Chain A
Amino acid sequence: EAGVAQSPRYKIIEKRQSVAFWCNPISGHATLYWYQQILGQGPKLLIQFQNNGVVDDSQLPKDRFSAERLKGVDSTLKIQPAKLEDSAVYLCASSAPGAVGYTFGSGTRLTVV
């Protein structure tokens, strides 16, 4: 089966600019997650979708971050405006009901300068 697809692979932007990341989960996986992984740390959950509804966005900085999953399939994560501390790898993962473990994409490495 195809894996979780993410794009772009790398992105460099200046602070205060905006950026968007895209994720296409494994077909049939109802749950989709966005994680932020700062260098040297473990992934931190930003938002969790079940189909096209938000289950948990408690750690999403809502003043600058937004995410959507309009048709319950692919998803976009946006940052506007970006800050230097947003430099990280943004990982998308998906899971199916009853499945063991998540399947992760390769991530988007964001550098804010």
Chain B
Amino acid sequence: SQQGEEDPQALSIQEGENATMNCSYKTSINNLQWYRQNSGRGLVHLILIRSNEREKHSGRLRVTLDTSKKSSSLLITASRAADTASYFCATDEGASKIIFGSGTRLSIRP
């Protein structure tokens, strides 16, 4: 089963623009994480936001969480070619298990 669903499924923007991806989930969570996956590689953890947090920043990344709407967004500012990847949200289910969404494929055009 997949807890989170990302939107859009695919996104293509010009280098230097901002990219926004959204994640909706179904049940209550303790935290939500975002991961990046470059083509043919494993996933890399980007950021975790806890259910009592509304916004979190890490470098060019900004994550928001709205538990009333069961949704989160990931904003990447000033995009670069190296940001081309798939991005997944993951929500906790149980004490130590996380469930991944279906991902957003981000392409950065030069």
Contacts and interface: CB of A to CB of B under 8 A. Distances in A.
Given A101-B48, A106-B41, A107-B42, A42 B98 contact: no
B100 A104 contact: no
Contacts of B68: none
Size bracket, chain B contacts? 20 to 34
Contacts, number: 54
Interface residues of A, number: 25
A42 B100 contact: yes
B85 to A, nearest CB: 13
B69 interface: no
B81 interface: no
A31 B53 CA distance: 26
Contact of B43 (A44, A45, A55, A91): A91
A56 interface: yes
A22 to B, nearest CB: 15
B2 interface: yes
Nearest to B105: A40
Contact of A42 (B48, B97, B101): B101
Contacts of B103: 41-42
A4 B88 contact: no
Contact of B97 (A4, A43, A48, A104): A48
Nearest to A30: B96
A107 B41 CA distance: 7
Nearest to B45: A101
B99 A101 contact: no
B88 A42 contact: yes
Contacts of A100: 33, 45, 48
16 contacts: A42-B2, A42-B100, A43-B43, A43-B88, A43-B100, A48-B96, A100-B48, A101-B33, A102-B98, A103-B45, A104-B43, A104-B44, A105-B42, A107-B41, A107-B42, A109-B40
